[in-house]
Amino acid sequence: MSVQQSLIELPLDLDRQRIPSHVAVIMDGNGRWAKSRGFPRIIGHQKGVDALKDLLRCCDDWGVKILTAYAFSTENWGRPAHEVEFLMTLFERVLRRELEEMMAENVKIRFIGDLKALPDSLQSEIAHAMGKTSQNKGIQFNIATNYGSRQEIIHACQSIASLVKEEKIQLDDINEELLENYLYTGGIANPDLLIRTSGEMRLSNFLLWQMAYGEIYVTQTLWPDFNRQEFHRALLDYQKRDRRFGKLN
Ligand code: FPP
């Protein structure tokens, strides 16, 4: 039995009662992974899809209810055109290829971000995947695509401002709960744990509001090498944390 296979069950040193409900990931280091092997960067992204698929399965196996992955940021448009094009095609191809399996595994897919700016064919594939999996009751898989937290907050403010302007709500009705409802993540609980690979210690405009009290775990491992052992390590670290949410114990 391979080490990967032996980690299908929840490892015994993890507390089943303290598995984070919602895990978010910044999948960084694909380019460096490829470059260090003499491959073009896009090979790193391709490998990154395999790592993400395995993490989704692992989350499902170990009792995580929601996985949110940062696939493409509002800033990523600034990459060379051929890389952006490759990523858009990759998202579309992966969605088409994996949809049946996701259905079989009861995964509920949701894309978060400003989807209107994505290529039309990708938008149709996204709408199809979200529609088809909308009644699934298994793990929720959120893919942040053309996502930027600042843009998300501005978008929410604009929606709320028009409600005030149309006198549908009063200024005093604006509170945290209302604002959260107008974020792309409306209706989804905030992440308990955010994992960032490849050593960078920043949020990079990802889930800024939602991560107010989320725990952050950074590993030096590059995303294509992130596997169940790495996730196990992240969860062990998470379970040692004392989450006080600004209060005293
Ligand atoms: C960051 O690594 C990675 C990305 C910008 C793309 C991540 C996308 C995937 C793994 C594909 C996911 C697919 C679906 C369908 C959700 P980087 O390129 O910034 O790496 P570097 O820092 O080493 O240059």
Q: How far apart are CA 183 and CA 152, in angstroms?
A: 6
Ligand 1 closest atom vs CA 73: 5
The model's pLDDT over 83-117, given as tens digits with 9 standing for 90+, comes to 999 999 999 999 999 999 999 999 999 999 999 99
* SS3 label, residue 126: helix
Ligand 1 closest atom vs CA 145: 16
Output DSSP code: residue 224: G
Residues 190, 12: contact at Cβ < 8 Å? Answer: no
Instruction: Answer yes or no: is 1 within a domain.
Output: no
Q: Is 28 a catalytic residue?
A: yes
Q: Model pTM? A: 0.95
Instruction: Answer yes or no: is 76 within a domain.
Output: yes
Instruction: Answer yes or no: is 164 within a domain.
Output: no
Report the CATH number at residue 42: 3.40.1180.10
Lookup result for tokens 């989804």: 188
Instruction: Answer yes or no: is 115 within a domain.
Output: yes
pLDDT of residue 1: 44
pLDDT of residue 246: 83
Q: How many domains does the chain have?
A: 1
pLDDT of residue 201: 97
Spatial neighbors of 74 by CB under 8 A, at least 6 apart, are 113, 114, 146, 147, 148, 151, 205
Atom 10 of ligand 1: nearest residue by CA position: 48
Instruction: Answer yes or no: is 180 within a domain.
Output: no
Residues 217, 238: contact at Cβ < 8 Å? Answer: yes
pLDDT of residue 6: 59
CA distances from 39 to 42, 57, 78, 172, 244 (A): 8, 27, 21, 56, 45
Instruction: Answer yes or no: is 163 within a domain.
Output: no
pLDDT of residue 199: 98
Q: Helix 81-104 crosses helix 120-133 at what angle (to 10 degrees)?
A: 20
- Give every residue of the chain whose pLDDT is below 50, as ranges: 1, 3
Instruction: Answer yes or no: is 49 within a domain.
Output: yes
Q: Give the residue from 213, 218, 208 showing the smallest Cα distance to 192.
A: 213
Partners of residue 68 on adjacent β-strands? 24, 142
Query: Residue 110's domain spans which residues?
Result: 19-148+191-238
Q: How big is the CA angle at 186 (ends 210 and 117), to the nearest 5 degrees?
A: 95
Q: How remote is the CA of residue 223 from the centroid of ligand 1, in Å?
A: 8
pLDDT of residue 248: 81
Atom 14 of ligand 1: nearest residue by CA position: 91
Q: Helix 228-240 crosses helix 41-62 at what angle (to 10 degrees)?
A: 60
Structure tokens at 240: 């040692």
CA atoms within 13 A on the CB side of 79: 17
